[in-house]
Structure 1
């Protein structure tokens, strides 16, 4: 009977010791579920704690929508031979006289003006024809204008005009492309997708590439894969357009009992909670609590009101979304719930982990004491 009493007393003492040590500042990856819930608005904290379900998932499934405005989309293709300021033209004039040609020397019936620059105001100068408006006109229109001007001074002139490859009708492509530079708008590269193909391969994963186009004071951007999938977004280019290929800069932070604790870039346009967990190596098998997966974010006013079924909230609200992977639909909810830029994904440790740490501390301390006692007895 005394032996049983001693064993009971020792067990009780061990339990008390473990409880005491567990309540101390043992190392851990972050707050436990109880401490997180203590920060709830219901307990005078500053965050709304919401269990994820299908309604919450629908209310929070808001991703940035990119595309081009009507101004970009309604711009028609530039004519393949439309001249722009800065272009260089080659003009050839054939005259039907030998003895005293207007432009050439005696006996010279063909006169070539190989580099006629279109000035900043869009004009060119042709001897005996004067200044002629070229910018915005086709090569044929300029040829006809030169012919009319010369016709009054030399009999039946024949004029040929060629546009030297788009020195003025150019766009600039920079960013994550294999061959950045200045490219002419030609017959085969008058649309955005065709020009991107001309500039070479992407230097980043196309799945997370953004294409930004700046024209004058307006800017539009689109996911590269949406550009390929939606012909309506394949806008016509204009001289002076600036095209930048950007890498998706969205990130989320993974903390707690996950395979990796770090700032993680998005690997696709949309990222679910289950995909985010997989990206960081999943849950730590021997440490994570699958009932304590949290997503922390500052939610915009409209979404926060929709999630909470309210209309009185003003400004961004701190929200903590709870995912229980052990619930009957928990895995499906995690698969459907979208992680957004700036989110913090936090997984709590299972309760027994702290007990294991406490026992390890106690048994380690007891072992060290026994070693010291044995060493002292040996002396």
Structure 2
């Protein structure tokens, strides 16, 4: 009878100790499901808590829209021989006189002008022909103009005009490319993809590469993969264009009972709930509650109204989306639900976890006390 009483007393003492240890606040990775649901609007909180299903997935599947405006797409390819300010021209003039040529020395019928610079206003200077507007002309049309001006001074001059490598029509390529620099628009590099290839190609993963083009006060941006897959996005370039290759800056935060807790960059254009969990090492099998995967997000009013079937919400709304991976279609819903920039993916701990921590704390405390007693008695 005394033995039974002693066992009962020890059990009561154990329960009391467990309650005491639990009340002291054991370490944990964040709020539990009950505490999250306590913040629901239904409980006079300030967040809408919504279970994810196919309707919710469709309503929230919104991704950044990138592309080039009409001004970019309607621009035709620049003529490869069109002269522009900054170009360098080479001219050769043949004169049909032997004794007293206009440009050369006596007996010199051929005169070469190898470095004729087109100035900032688009003009060049040719001896005896004077100042000529070269910008906007092709080499052939410029040849005809110079011939006409010299024809009255030397009989039947024969002239050739060659444009150098298009130094006046250049673009700047920078960012995550192999060879940053200023490149001329030449016949092989008159389009965006050709110019990227000319610069040596990109230096980051194609899946996270964005291509930004600035022309004057207009800017367009596309995914590199979309550029390669959609020929209509391969816009024609113009002198002065600035091309920047940059890494996608979107990221989400992973917290709770996951393999890692950190700020996680996107690794692709679209990222599903399942992929986000996989990126951080999956659920912690010794801690995680697969019924409690939460996505915290500030949702625009338009989407929030659609999700909740309302029309009265104004401004961004705090939304908490719940993924239950134990449901028959839970894995499919998590696979289809898209994570967005700035989301917080939080996995709660399983209910038994705190109890296990409590037992471990009690066991550790008891073991320590026994060791102290033994040492004192020794």
Q: TM-score range by the shorter chain?
A: over 0.9
Q: Deviations over 1:191-246 (max 9, x none)?
A: 00011111113211111100111111111111001000000000000011110010
Paired position in structure 2 for 1:164:
164
Paired position in structure 1 for 2:347:
347
Q: Could you tell which deviates more after superposition, 42-51 or 174-183?
A: 42-51
Paired position in structure 2 for 1:94:
94
Q: Distance in 1 between matches of 2:201 and 2:275?
A: 28
Q: Deviations over 1:233-262 (max 9, x none)?
A: 000000111100101111111111100111
Paired position in structure 2 for 1:26:
26
Q: Distance in 2 between matches of 1:329 and 1:12?
A: 44
Paired position in structure 1 for 2:244:
244
Q: Distance in 1 between matches of 2:136 and 2:53?
A: 58
Return the offset for 1:20: 3.6
Q: Distance in 2 between matches of 1:371 and 1:280?
A: 40
Describe how 1:297-376 pairs up with structure 2 within 5 A: 297-376=297-376
**CA-atom RMSD in angstroms:** 1.4
Paired position in structure 2 for 1:207:
207
Q: Distance in 2 between matches of 1:19 and 1:227?
A: 62
TM-score (ref. length: structure 2): 0.97
Q: Deviations over 1:258-300 (max 9, x none)?
A: 0011111111011001001000000001000101101111111
Moved over 4 A (4+): 1-6
Return the offset for 1:176: 0.5
Q: Distance in 1 between matches of 2:139 and 2:44?
A: 75
Q: Distance in 2 between matches of 1:24 and 1:62?
A: 44
Query: Mind listing any 5+ residue stretches in structure 2 that lack a counterpart?
Result: none
Paired position in structure 2 for 1:149:
149
Q: Secondary structure of the equivalent of 1:303?
A: helix
Describe how 1:223-238 pairs up with structure 2 within 5 A: 223-238=223-238
Q: Deviations over 1:11-63 (max 9, x none)?
A: 34433432342233111111111111111122122211111111111111101
Return the offset for 1:10: 3.7
Q: Could you tell which deviates more after superposition, 303-312 or 208-217?
A: 303-312
Aligned length: 378
Paired position in structure 1 for 2:107:
107
Query: Mind listing any 5+ residue stretches in structure 1 that lack a counterpart?
Result: none
Q: Deviations over 1:114-143 (max 9, x none)?
A: 111111111111122222222122111111
Q: Distance in 1 between matches of 2:101 and 2:94?
A: 9
